[in-house]
């Protein structure tokens, strides 16, 4: 049974002395948290604390011993620890936590654009503050739902009214996410999306299984003109630079992270997948992570009041 705390969860509010017309982005030195976290009521296993750079983060703790961290900036899950203490996610050493740049690592959002395009790289959702809409606990497992709505900053790039709800649920050996996009406008809109998940890894030993037979769009060597092909390998490895889109990917992939762990990455409605490792373009850390991303490369179109829902589950197997 789930116990909900929606009625006692006003969203965190901030005041900025900046004159910028980007109301959801803040310089750390000018941000003041106006709400007292101690006065809020959250479901058991859900807490809010000050994270890196003074940015607020949500801490999820399961009675089974698993833990997760989610920053309100970008609604970015930056840590998922299983009961043995291993963190399955990776945050790059060059990541900044200043409320000005997206957090490089964990599970960043790509919305409403994947990759380059008319707006900033991967869209704006990873570069703004989300608010807390709800928290709940089900059989001891905590969950939190974050919300993002349009404002003048988003409309300067994408002139539509929308609501994004992102639920993160923690279990003993798995982390589940549900993303719901609703068209709140009086006209249709279209978008792309992805979860740009960074997994901790030893890249020389990494393999990803489940993609054999998929149509590929290989962005190496020319990302502007990807080469079409078909994946013939049972397990994809990473001997060098890899940046490849897999269309029509299956509902589950198996990642061997090269560190002795096998991770099942399951999904619904994320119809595609992306594999990425920068190799020597990021010499300081490329050996320590791999990105296995659930994505929706084909454009989604929503009529007014319509919604699109996609789920992801990361589980140690």
Q: Give per-residue pLDDT as tens, 60-80.
A: 999 999 999 999 999 999 999
Query: Among 288, 2, 293, 301, which residue's Cα sits nearest to residue 142?
Result: 2
Torsion, Cα 179 93 198 103, to 10 degrees, reads: 20
Query: Mean pLDDT over residues 30-57, rounded?
Result: 73
- Quote the CA–CA distance of 268 and 198 in Å, as a whole number: 19
The string over 262-297, giving b where at least 16 C-beta atoms fall within 10 Å of a residue's C-beta and e elsewhere, is ebbbbbebbbbbbbbbebeebeebbbbbbbbbbbbb
* pLDDT greater at residue 3 or residue 134: 134
- Quote the CA–CA distance of 297 and 46 in Å, as a whole number: 33
How many beta carbons lie within 10 A of that of residue 115, not counting itself?
17
* pLDDT greater at residue 135 or residue 11: 135
pLDDT at residue 232, as a whole number:
98
pTM for the full predicted model: 0.89
What lies within 8 Å, CB to CB, of 260 at 6+ separation is none
pLDDT at residue 107, as a whole number:
98
How many beta carbons lie within 10 A of that of residue 305, not counting itself?
10
HSE-CB for 311 with a 13 A CA cutoff: 9
Confidence of residue 114 (pLDDT cuts 50, 70, 90): very high
Integer CA distances (angstroms), 63 to 47, 78, 169, 192, 315, in order = 14, 20, 13, 36, 17
DSSP 152: H
Active site residues: 196, 293
pLDDT at residue 39, as a whole number:
41
Confidence of residue 34 (pLDDT cuts 50, 70, 90): very low
Query: Mean pLDDT over residues 283-312, rounded?
Result: 98
- Quote the CA–CA distance of 289 and 293 in Å, as a whole number: 13
Tokens of residue 148, six digits: 């993002």
pLDDT at residue 45, as a whole number:
97
* Structural contact between residues 142 and 47, judged by C-beta atoms closer than 8 angstroms: no
pLDDT at residue 40, as a whole number:
80
Coil, helix or strand at residue 146: strand
pLDDT at residue 224, as a whole number:
87
Query: Among 316, 273, 279, which residue's Cα sits nearest to residue 298?
Result: 273
pLDDT (tens digit, 9 = 90+) per residue, 86-104? 999 999 999 999 999 999 9
Strand positions, DSSP E, 107-214: 109-110, 131-138, 141-149, 162-170, 174-183, 189-195, 198-200, 207-209
């Amino acid at each position: 049974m789930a116990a909900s705390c929606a009625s006692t969860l006003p969203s965190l509010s901030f005041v900025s002395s900046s004159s910028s017309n980007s109301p959801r982005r803040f310089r750390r030195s000018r941000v003041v948290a106006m709400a007292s976290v101690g006065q809020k009521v959250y479901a058991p296993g859900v807490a809010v604390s000050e994270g890196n750079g003074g940015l607020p983060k949500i801490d999820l703790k399961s009675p089974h011993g698993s833990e997760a961290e989610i920053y309100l900036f970008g609604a970015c899950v930056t840590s998922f620890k299983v009961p043995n203490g291993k963190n399955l996610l990776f945050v790059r050493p060059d990541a900044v936590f200043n409320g000005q740049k997206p957090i490089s690592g964990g599970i960043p959002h790509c919305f409403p654009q994947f990759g380059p395009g008319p707006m900033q790289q991967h869209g704006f959702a990873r570069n703004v503050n989300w608010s807390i809409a709800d928290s709940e606990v089900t059989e001891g497992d905590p969950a939190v739902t974050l919300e993002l709505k349009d404002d003048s900053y988003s409309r300067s790039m994408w002139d539509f009214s929308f609501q994004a709800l992102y639920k993160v649920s923690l279990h003993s050996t798995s982390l589940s996410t549900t993303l719901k996009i609703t068209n709140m406008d009086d006209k249709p809109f279209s978008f792309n999306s992805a979860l740009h998940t960074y997994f901790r890894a030893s890249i020389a030993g990494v393999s990803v299984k489940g993609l054999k037979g998929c149509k590929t769009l290989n962005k190496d060597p020319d990302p502007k003109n990807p080469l079409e092909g078909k994946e013939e390998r049972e397990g994809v490895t990473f001997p060098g630079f890899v940046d490849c889109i897999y269309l029509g990917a299956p509902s589950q992939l198996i990642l061997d992270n090269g560190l002795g762990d096998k991770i099942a990455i399951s999904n619904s409605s994320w119809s595609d997948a992306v594999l990425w490792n920068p190799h020597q373009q990021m010499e300081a850390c490329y050996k320590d992570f791999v990105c296995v991303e659930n994505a929706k490369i084909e454009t989604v179109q929503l009529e007014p009041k319509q919604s699109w829902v996609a789920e992801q589950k990361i589980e140690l197997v």
